[in-house]
């Protein structure tokens, strides 16, 4: 019982009391130095984003590299379809970087399925040394963090990162199989069907025209007591707040130093909660803050709070955001993917949903200073 009591210590007492004052610092927000700085300038030299039909019809649809018309991609199962989509994204990113698969030294990837099936089975086919990472929908920034450290630390020259998610496989695993036809509550989000990959490479003459990863912040697992498997925005917002607060207090950058501050898949509700939480801590997020979950679907697509899943922010990052970094429209962005670390088993056993948010700061090759 002591353990149980301990576990909820991250929940600040004044969370739901409507108090508009700045919150006292809850225990979870430690003053430890958390920022990783990459002085050897790892670059993102290749990328690919593959999405399903629904995502291609959304507001950022035209930026994605490839749209799959059929959610099953002609495979027998949705799981096989996800593997194939993942494979397409990975090989596409390698091609985009003008490399061969044999030039890749390490592959860092993850996905939402149990035992990371998609990523492990796809990696088997690709045959590159593999590091499996998992932090739910925050996996893209986790893998970018690990990859950047591996390149920046001088261990490898070319590291591949990839994630995927699929609406049908995620619904079956976390909620109900689609065939049951269950109703979705108005605060639910829609798991993005898609896969995205990036190639991180050492800084050199050939790669200096590509965007660089300058910092990363590994997230702390935060839990404010949400226990509804459908309401993930609320579960993840506190984690995003923690990482974002660390960013603004430890990096030396303020809100206005970024052309865009992007969270992963908080959705409409979650990003409103985040704005509110940040305001209470004295930081006002302006027009340059967006949430990928909030922008990936149109309002008339019936996705309620917006998109979610590993691929939600990963596909938007590897298309829309990277394009604007490459052409210099964005000088510096902060990308904070957010993950809800729930498992159906633990929720059945009465547990709440912890959230995590890893961040990376990416700068355009054209300035950023």
Compute the least distance from the CB of residue 177 to a copy of itself, in Å: 12
Compute the least distance from the CB of residue 352 to a copy of itself, in Å: 9
**CB nearer to a copy of itself: pick between 16 and 344:** 344
* Residues 6+ positions from 120 with CB-CB distance below 8 Å: 130, 132
- Which 312-351 residues touch a copy of itself, going by CB under 8 A? 341-346, 349, 351
- Which 158-187 residues touch a copy of itself, going by CB under 8 A? 173
Return the C-alpha torsion angle 131, 136, 140, 141, nearest 10. -100
- Binding part of the chain for a copy of itself, among 64-72, 76-84, 226-234, 319-327 by CB under 8 A, reads 76-84
**CB nearer to a copy of itself: pick between 207 and 222:** 222
Regarding 237 and contact with a copy of itself (CB under 8 A), the answer is: no
| 307-308/190-191 β-pairing | parallel
Regarding 249 and contact with a copy of itself (CB under 8 A), the answer is: no
**Which residue is associated with the tokens 């050939």?**
206
**Which residue is associated with the tokens 């920034």?**
141
- Which 22-61 residues touch a copy of itself, going by CB under 8 A? 27-28, 30, 32-34, 36
Compute the least distance from the CB of residue 355 to a copy of itself, in Å: 9
**CB nearer to a copy of itself: pick between 27 and 287:** 27
- Which 116-135 residues touch a copy of itself, going by CB under 8 A? 116-117, 120-121, 123-125, 127-135
What is the distance of C-alpha 365 from the center of its chain? 22
**CB nearer to a copy of itself: pick between 30 and 327:** 30
Q: Contacting a copy of itself (CB under 8 A), which of 16, 115, 298, 327?
A: 115
Q: Which long-range contacts (CB under 8 A, 24 or more apart) does 6-13 make?
A: 7/223, 8/223, 8/225, 8/352, 10/222, 10/223, 10/224, 10/238, 11/223, 11/224, 11/225, 12/224
Contact 297, 237 (CB under 8 A): no
Regarding 10 and contact with a copy of itself (CB under 8 A), the answer is: yes
> Could you count the other beta carbons within 10 Å of the beta carbon of residue 180?
9
E strand or H helix at 44, and its extent?
strand 43-51
Q: To 5 degrees, how large is the angle CA 98–CA 157–CA 263?
A: 80
Which 8-state DSSP code applies to residue 153?
T
Q: What are phi and psi of 122, to 5 degrees?
A: -70, -40
**CB nearer to a copy of itself: pick between 113 and 196:** 113
Regarding 229 and contact with a copy of itself (CB under 8 A), the answer is: no
Q: Contacting a copy of itself (CB under 8 A), which of 83, 140, 195, 303?
A: 83
What is the distance of C-alpha 322 from the center of its chain? 14
Q: Contacting a copy of itself (CB under 8 A), which of 55, 68, 82, 223?
A: 223
Q: Contacting a copy of itself (CB under 8 A), which of 48, 106, 310, 322?
A: 106
Contact 199, 48 (CB under 8 A): no
């Amino acid at each position: 019982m002591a353990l149980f009591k301990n576990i909820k210590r991250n929940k600040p007492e004044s969370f739901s009391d409507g108090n508009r004052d700045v919150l006292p610092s809850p225990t979870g927000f430690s003053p430890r130095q958390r920022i990783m700085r990459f002085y050897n300038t790892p670059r993102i030299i290749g990328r690919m984003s593959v999405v399903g039909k629904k995502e291609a019809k959304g507001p950022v649809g035209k930026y994605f590299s490839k749209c799959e018309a059929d959610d099953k991609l002609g495979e027998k199962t949705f799981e096989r379809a996800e593997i194939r989509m993942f494979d397409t994204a990975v090989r596409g990113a390698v091609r985009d970087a003008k490399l061969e698969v044999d030039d890749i030294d390490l592959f860092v990837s993850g996905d939402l399925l149990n035992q990371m099936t998609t990523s492990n089975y796809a990696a088997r086919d690709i045959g590159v040394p593999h590091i499996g990472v998992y932090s739910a929908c925050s996996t893209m920034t986790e893998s970018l963090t690990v990859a950047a450290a591996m390149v920046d630390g001088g261990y490898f020259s070319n590291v591949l990162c990839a994630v995927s998610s699929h609406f049908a496989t995620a619904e079956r695993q976390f909620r109900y199989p689609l065939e049951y036809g269950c109703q979705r509550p108005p605060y639910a989000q829609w798991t993005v069907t898609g896969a995205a990959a990036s190639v991180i490479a050492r800084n050199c003459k050939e790669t200096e025209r590509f965007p660089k990863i300058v910092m990363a912040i590994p997230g702390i697992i935060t839990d404010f007591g949400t226990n509804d498997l459908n309401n993930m925005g609320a579960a993840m917002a506190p984690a995003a707040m923690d990482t974002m607060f660390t960013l603004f207090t430890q990096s030396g950058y303020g809100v206005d130093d970024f052309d865009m501050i992007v969270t992963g898949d908080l959705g409409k509700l979650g990003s409103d909660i985040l704005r509110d939480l940040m305001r209470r801590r004295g930081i006002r997020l302006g027009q340059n803050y967006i949430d990928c979950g909030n922008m990936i679907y149109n309002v008339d697509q019936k996705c309620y709070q917006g998109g979610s899943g590993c691929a939600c922010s990963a596909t938007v990052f590897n298309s829309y955001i990277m394009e604007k970094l490459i052409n210099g429209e964005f000088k510096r962005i902060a990308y904070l993917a957010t993950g809800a670390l729930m498992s159906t088993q633990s929720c059945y056993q009465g547990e709440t949903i912890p959230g995590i948010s890893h961040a990376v700061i990416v700068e355009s090759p054209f300035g950023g200073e």
